[in-house]
Amino acid sequence: MFKAVTESARRIWGVTVLAVRASLRTKGVTALLVLLAVCVGVLPNVVKGDGTPEGELHILLAYTLGFAFGILCLATLWAACALFAAEIDSERMSLSAVKPVRAAEFWVGKWFALLLLNAALLLAVYAGVYAQVLWRMHRKGWEEADRPASRRVTRPELPTPREEARQTLELMRQKNLTPKGLAEKAILRTLEERAQDKYDVINPGEQVRWQFRLLRPLREGAPVTVRVTFDTEYSTREHVKGVCRLGCRERPGKTVEVALDDFTRNALEFVVDTRAFSQGSGGRGQESGGAGGALQNFELTFAHAGDPKKASALMVRFRQDVALLTPGGSFEANLARAACVHWGVLALLAAFGLTLSACFSLPVAAFVATVLLVLTLVGNSVAEVISEEDASLWQNRVGIWVSRGVHEASLRAMQAAPLTALTRGERIEGGVLGASLAWNGLLLPLCFAAAGCWVLRRREMADAG
């Protein structure tokens, strides 16, 4: 048994080494390296930012990493499409196929080769970007607040959109208000979308309150960042006044109040030192806070202090736009987690390309892979902008059906958005990372592997003559 496993491992390793050698000794990889080097080295210096550290970070983390990742995605997909197809087309496979190697060993060997290459290339790209971040921080002497961070995100304590949709549907049923001719699934989806986008309207003089419960209690003295994004009526960017109050339920009676009078950026973010909750209370907070003075429950109040006659009302999509950010590890660890998420996506693309490669010739496999990739991206974009009015038109039904199908199918694969998290300084949670790796790097590749091996076993590896 052990001998069989060792021999199988040797065969897989042999296939991996060959594929890595093949990649490294072709001009394609050299071109790819040059392209990535240009992307990482030149792009951040060519694209003009707004001059702020935040802008520079955005260019480095969103544009540079995004562009490099896009290049790697296409390269991985096309390389994977070539790995079997080119060998079969050139009949080189006929030499390997007569050796005692199982289809699964071929598949896994080639997949590992792509994983190794991608790991090396991703490491180089991320290291390049990180070096640039460090260099800019050193050269321009960024303030502590401007430095890239990794923070846990806590949203207000509310029922999930799905729960709320179910509750609303139940209410509608009780009042006999369910729309006729629509399936329950369709109604629920619409209600869920509405719940997700639901907003509070805050008129001048009014205030709203949100409760937060941190997943991990916060030690006293750690900073809490409040982030609120909002829109004004008719999306005008006018000067609006307001007051934000953050209180901690473990330290009752003491709140931190921040007066805000520049809402022209439609987003506000401020840091609160949690020591402020204990000041003047003589350590009372610690007693009531329990375990080592940990803080876990917060309350945020937002009061619109504008002129009731002139100022516009504010609209806040409370499920998306309000958050408390607390320290959550180092930026470097977050960067590594983002790289892992990207690695998982590349592993999925490699698996997808390999299976197509086992089925078709190189041009057809590459074409089909690219079309499906584009369809996934377009489908997801379209699915996000479909309005109820669009959905009601019969001529849009095919488009909506396809878009939603693609969106549903790729939802889990695209759930983690590492670049958004990095640029917003949000920690990529272990659960999200684990789910992304398990889904993209294991489960879906397993399905593709099963399909690819099934085809490989049945496919004739030689032609007539």
Of 22 and 324, the one with the shorter C-beta distance to another protein is 22
Residue 6 lies near another protein (rule: CB under 8 A)? yes
State the amino acid at position 374 in one-letter form: V
Q: Which of 97, 311, 339, 456 binds another protein (CB under 8 A)?
A: 97
Both tokens of 405, joined, read 């199908």
Of residues 101-120, those binding another protein (CB under 8 A): 101-102
239 exposure class (CB count in 10 Å sphere: 0-12, 13-18, 19+): exposed
Of 63 and 367, the one with the shorter C-beta distance to another protein is 367
Residue 379: count of CB within 10 angstroms of its CB: 21
φ, ψ (nearest 5 deg) of residue 225 = -105, 130
Both tokens of 428, joined, read 């990529």
Q: Give the DSSP per-residue string, 235-267.
A: G------EEEEEEETTSTT-EEEEEE---TTSE
Shortest Cβ 357–another protein spacing (Å): 15
Both tokens of 442, joined, read 């294991």
Q: Which of 77, 85, 359, 382 binds another protein (CB under 8 A)?
A: 382
x-or-dash string of contact with another protein, 393-432, rule CB under 8 A: --xx-xx--xx-----------------------------
Shortest Cβ 385–another protein spacing (Å): 6
**Region near another protein per CB under 8 A, out of 269-277, 406-414, 430-438, 457-465:** 457-465
What's the CA gap between 114 and 349, in Å, rounded? 10
**Region near another protein per CB under 8 A, out of 267-275, 322-330, 365-373, 419-427:** 365-373
Residue 380 lies near another protein (rule: CB under 8 A)? no
Residue 259 lies near another protein (rule: CB under 8 A)? no
What's the CA gap between 444 and 347, in Å, rounded? 9
Residue 253 lies near another protein (rule: CB under 8 A)? no
x-or-dash string of contact with another protein, 7-36, rule CB under 8 A: xx-xx-xxx-xx--xx--xxxx--x-----
State the amino acid at position 108 in one-letter form: V
φ, ψ (nearest 5 deg) of residue 64 = -65, -50
What's the CA gap between 337 and 240, in Å, rounded? 38
What's the CA gap between 297 and 400, in Å, rounded? 42
Residue 63 lies near another protein (rule: CB under 8 A)? no
Of 288 and 396, the one with the shorter C-beta distance to another protein is 396
What is the b/e burial string over 83-114, where b = at least 16 CB atoms within 10 angstroms of the residue's CB? bbbbbbeeeebeeebeeebebbbbbbbbbbbb
Of 10 and 239, the one with the shorter C-beta distance to another protein is 10
Residue 338 lies near another protein (rule: CB under 8 A)? no
Residue 1 lies near another protein (rule: CB under 8 A)? no
Residue with token string 């790097």:
441
Residues linked to residue 225 through DSSP beta bridges, in sequence order: 271, 325
CB 269 within 8 A of CB 275: no
Shortest Cβ 121–another protein spacing (Å): 17
Q: Which of 52, 90, 392, 415 binds another protein (CB under 8 A)?
A: 90
230 half-sphere exposure, CB direction, 13 A CA radius: 27
Total residues binding another protein (CB under 8 A): 53
Q: Measuring CA to CA, which residue among 405, 374, 400 is closest to residue 387?
A: 400
Of residues 140-199, those binding another protein (CB under 8 A): none
Of 143 and 460, the one with the shorter C-beta distance to another protein is 460
Residue 447 lies near another protein (rule: CB under 8 A)? no
By CB under 8 A, name the binding residues for another protein. Answer: 6-8, 10-11, 13-15, 17-18, 21-22, 25-28, 31, 90-92, 94-102, 361, 363-364, 367-368, 371, 378, 382, 385-387, 390, 395-396, 398-399, 402-403, 457, 460-462, 464-465
